[in-house]
């Protein structure tokens, strides 16, 4: 009788489950981008494992952004444990695909992993101390095709700022209307406005999503072949796709009036091959000043002269491209890095750069549309020419 009771107590103390090493590794890598190198709470260095009715939920969080994903497993008991993330990831990367048996002591949080090769012991932490995933109170929802959302993030994220004094500019602005959605990013030197006319919501709203969750989405959405459900309220946004959900705190503040900085009168119009211009700027910019990265565009008739110089080292480069140009002859300077990023994020064969004067912003737009429901506008501020 005593032996039976001891056996029963041991069962209560222990939690056991079996999972494929390859599937587990893929799921952990999917959400592992949330983890920070240094956390305010030590338990945030862990993955939270929660087992309910043969399903394993894994959570990673940095308090601002939380990701949860689910896997079917073999398990008789329910339970919860926090497992050190780096140690677990490093271990899983070394295995070929095979079943792994996790045995967890619920009293001292000891974890034993059994593989075809042997056994490995590590110490976990009390899962009940892991921060709870925020629940969204009365959210609005919208469904977006994953490829459309991926495209919107790719086209805008690079233009967002890094200035801690202006946090509202460090994310992407989602402006949701009854008949379209606009995504905007700017750092005051460059701006991207990406609009979709095939997305709509029942009621208008707007929010600013931080850079980190956007970067995570950018890395994940390319492999998602379904709609993404977005839920949002005043403080948080949640993205649900497949068996994964990501919740992020929104940036608090008012986004600048981006339409006010986009010049409407631009009589000078340059049309040129996108790849030719991109490659030319890449080559010429190698010889530019390492502080300003300035390249000079000089338009005369059907010729575009691209040049750069670094007077400190007597470096200079000049190239000439054939183009279509309408307007007065003009010279304008741009930061080559910004132009390279913008041209690399457009897809059309030809691009148009509309300008009004050498001290006013240039506006890049694709000449051909790959998608009728898409509108892209990129704005870049000029750099003062040093004559």
**pLDDT confidence of residue 9:** 56
Q: Which residues of 74-109 are buried (b: 16+ CB within 10 A; e: fewer)?
A: ebeeebbbbbbbebbbebbeebeeeebebebbbeeb
Mean pLDDT of 367-382: 94
| Spatial distance between the Cα atoms of 153 and 209, rounded to a whole number of angstroms | 11
Quick: pLDDT tens for 7-52.
555 556 889 999 999 999 999 999 999 999 888 899 999 999 999 9
Mean pLDDT of 159-188: 94
CA distances, 128 to each of 1, 79, 110 (Å): 33, 10, 15
**pLDDT confidence of residue 12:** 63
Quick: pLDDT tens for 295-331.
999 999 899 999 999 999 999 999 999 999 999 999 9
* Dihedral of alpha carbons 362, 383, 276, 190, sign: negative
- Rounded to 10 degrees, what is the CA torsion of 225, 231, 234, 236? -60
**pLDDT confidence of residue 134:** 87
Mean pLDDT of 324-353: 96
Quick: pLDDT tens for 281-297.
999 999 999 999 999 99
**pLDDT confidence of residue 5:** 43
- CATH number listed for the domain at residues 262-383: 3.10.150.10
**pLDDT confidence of residue 371:** 87
Segments making up each domain of the chain, as ranges: 2-129, 140-258, 262-383
pTM of the model: 0.91
| Spatial distance between the Cα atoms of 347 and 325, rounded to a whole number of angstroms | 21
**pLDDT confidence of residue 173:** 98
- 140-258 is classed in which CATH architecture? Roll (3.10)
Quick: pLDDT tens for 54-102.
999 999 999 999 999 999 999 989 999 999 999 999 999 999 999 999 9
**pLDDT confidence of residue 369:** 87
**Radius of gyration from C-alpha coordinates of the chain:** 27
Residues 6+ apart with CB under 8 A from 216: 33, 34, 65, 67, 246
Domain 2-129 coded CATH 3.10.150.10: yes
| Spatial distance between the Cα atoms of 293 and 312, rounded to a whole number of angstroms | 13
**pLDDT confidence of residue 203:** 81
**pLDDT confidence of residue 3:** 47
Q: Are 34 and 45 within 8 A, CB to CB? A: no
The share of the chain scoring above pLDDT 70, in percent, equals 96
Going by pLDDT thresholds of 50, 70 and 90, the confidence category of residue 223 is confident
């Amino acid at each position: 009788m005593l032996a039976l009771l001891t056996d029963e107590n041991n069962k209560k103390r222990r939690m056991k489950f079996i999972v494929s090493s390859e599937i587990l590794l893929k799921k952990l890598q999917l959400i592992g981008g949330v983890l920070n190198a240094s956390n305010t709470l030590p338990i945030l260095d862990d993955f939270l494992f929660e087992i309910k009715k043969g399903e394993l939920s894994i959570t990673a969080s940095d308090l601002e952004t939380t990701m949860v994903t689910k896997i079917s497993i073999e398990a008789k008991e329910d339970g919860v444990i926090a497992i050190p993330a780096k140690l677990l990831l490093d271990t899983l990367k070394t295995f070929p695909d095979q079943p792994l048996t996790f045995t967890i002591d619920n009293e001292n949080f000891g974890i034993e992993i059994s593989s075809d090769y042997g056994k490995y012991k590590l110490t976990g932490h009390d899962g009940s101390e892991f921060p709870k995933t925020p629940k969204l109170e009365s959210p609005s929802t919208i469904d977006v095709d994953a490829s459309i959302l991926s495209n919107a993030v790719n086209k805008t994220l690079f233009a967002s700022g890094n200035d801690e004094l202006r946090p509202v500019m460090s994310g992407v602005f989602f402006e949701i209307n009854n008949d379209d959605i606009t995504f905007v990013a700017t750092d005051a030197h460059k701006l991207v406005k990406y609009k979709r006319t095939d997305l709509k919501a029942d009621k208008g709203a707007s929010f600013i999503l931080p850079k980190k969750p956007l970067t995570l989405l950018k890395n994940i959405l390319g492999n998602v072949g379904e709609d993404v459900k977005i839920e949002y309220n005043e403080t948080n946004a949640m993205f649900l796709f497949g068996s994964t959900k990501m919740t992020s705190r929104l940036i608090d503040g008012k986004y600048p009036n981006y339409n006010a900085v986009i010049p409407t009168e631009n009589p000078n119009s340059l049309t040129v091959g996108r790849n030719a211009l991109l490659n030319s700027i890449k080559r010429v910019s190698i010889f530019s000043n390492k502080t300003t990265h300035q390249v000079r565009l000089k338009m005369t008739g059907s010729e575009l002269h691209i040049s750069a110089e670094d007077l400190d080292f007597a470096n200079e480069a000049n190239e000439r491209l054939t183009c279509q140009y309408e307007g007065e002859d003009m010279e304008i300077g741009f930061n080559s890095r910004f132009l390279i990023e913008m041209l690399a994020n457009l897809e059309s064969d030809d691009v148009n750069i509309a300008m009004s004067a050498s001290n006013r912003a240039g506006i890049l737009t694709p000449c051909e549309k790959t998608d009728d429901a898409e509108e892209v506008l990129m704005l870049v501020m000029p750099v003062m020419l040093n004559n």
